[in-house]
Amino acid sequence: MLFLWLYMFYSCAGSCAGLTTRGSPAPPRAAPPLSPLLPAEPGEESSLEEQRAAPDAGSPISSFFNGSGTKRLPQAIIIGVKKGGTRALLEFLRVHPDVRAVGAEPHFFDRNYERGLAWYRDLMPRTLEGQITMEKTPSYFVTKEAPARISSMSKGTKLIVVVRDPVTRAISDYTQTLSKKPDIPTFESLTFKNRTTGLIDTSWSAIQIGIYAKHLENWLLYFPIGQILFVSGERLISDPAGELGRVQDFLGLKRIITDKHFYFNKTKGFPCLKKAEGSSKPHCLGKTKGRTHPDIDQEVVQRLRDFYRPFNMKFYQMTGQDFGWD
């Protein structure tokens, strides 16, 4: 029946187009673009300009199968943290048929807030009834204004934070910067205000981001703890299906993403998808993921562990979860 309908639709497309008011030619119409919006290359961000310029639907046939849907403000946001595993989580979640997410990081609540909610909504993918609209911008977690702004949009927004051992996270953060700026100072020199006294430089963002308890206090002024899900970056690697099960429960989704969706890539040291969203091929995160970390002085690593320990203990108490970083 479906194929009969499609046959009739396309058979009529040419001839029926002229069935307008007698004697009045049909107004010319621009041909719709044939290429649908492709997701950003894993590990990289597509520009917001590219997202906005791309069509929500391509040809009539793609419109039929994808559904037109409605652009909605996100009901759930991955708010952090940088180098915690947010890209992996989003890529895994996009396998779920009831999750629709923006490929690029909108940075609305930290960099583009003055553009307004209409601008933000226009970035969102179209969704059907029952689907969840999502986005991820890891810098939200450490942005002082973000909690109040998101609460102002919707107090019911569900928030997801992917956290990772703050020492490992800081080294990963430094490694990413080093790949772009090879002439930056050493990790050891940036860690301390004064290495002789051992005073940690908390103004360095790589260190500051990992003080999770401090940032969480700001979010709890606007959202109850039960409205925030904390995902372990380590368990996202060792047991992706288990962590995705928790996320699907939190979002009120049926547990569709399971062990059968993953395989472990020994070369990259990360789990990969057997089939990515909209593809029948295996899919791993891009080459920017899984960089080899530089060798760091173990004395510096230990001093950082000592520095973070009390903050970690407080974070465990606040979240009711022991992440096992000590």
Question: Does the annotation count 180 as an active-site position?
Answer: no
290 is in an annotated binding site: yes
86 is in an annotated binding site: yes
Q: Which residues pair with 265 in a beta bridge?
A: 270
CB 135 within 8 A of CB 104: no
291 is in an annotated binding site: yes
CB 236 within 8 A of CB 89: yes
85 is in an annotated binding site: yes
Residue 231's Cβ-count burial label (10 Å; 0-12, 13-18, 19+) is buried
Going through the chain in order, the beta strands assigned E by DSSP cover 70-71, 76-80, 99-101, 126-127, 132-136, 158-163, 192-194, 199-200, 228-232, 262-265, 270-273
Out of 83, 180, 268, 274, which one is annotated catalytic? 83
DSSP 226-250: GGEEEEEHHHHHH-HHHHHHHHHHH
111 is in an annotated binding site: no
172 is in an annotated binding site: yes
92 Cβ contact partners less than 8 Å away, ≥ 6 residues apart:
240, 244, 257, 261, 273
Going from the C-alpha of 181 to that of each of 177, 184, 215, the distances in angstroms are: 6, 6, 28
The CA distance from 306 to 302, in Å, is 6
83 is in an annotated binding site: yes
43 is in an annotated binding site: no
292 Cβ contact partners less than 8 Å away, ≥ 6 residues apart:
175
Active site residues: 83
Q: Which residues fall in the annotated binding site for 3'-phosphoadenylyl sulfate?
A: 83-87, 164, 172, 289-293
Q: Which residues fall in the annotated binding site?
A: 83-87, 164, 172, 289-293
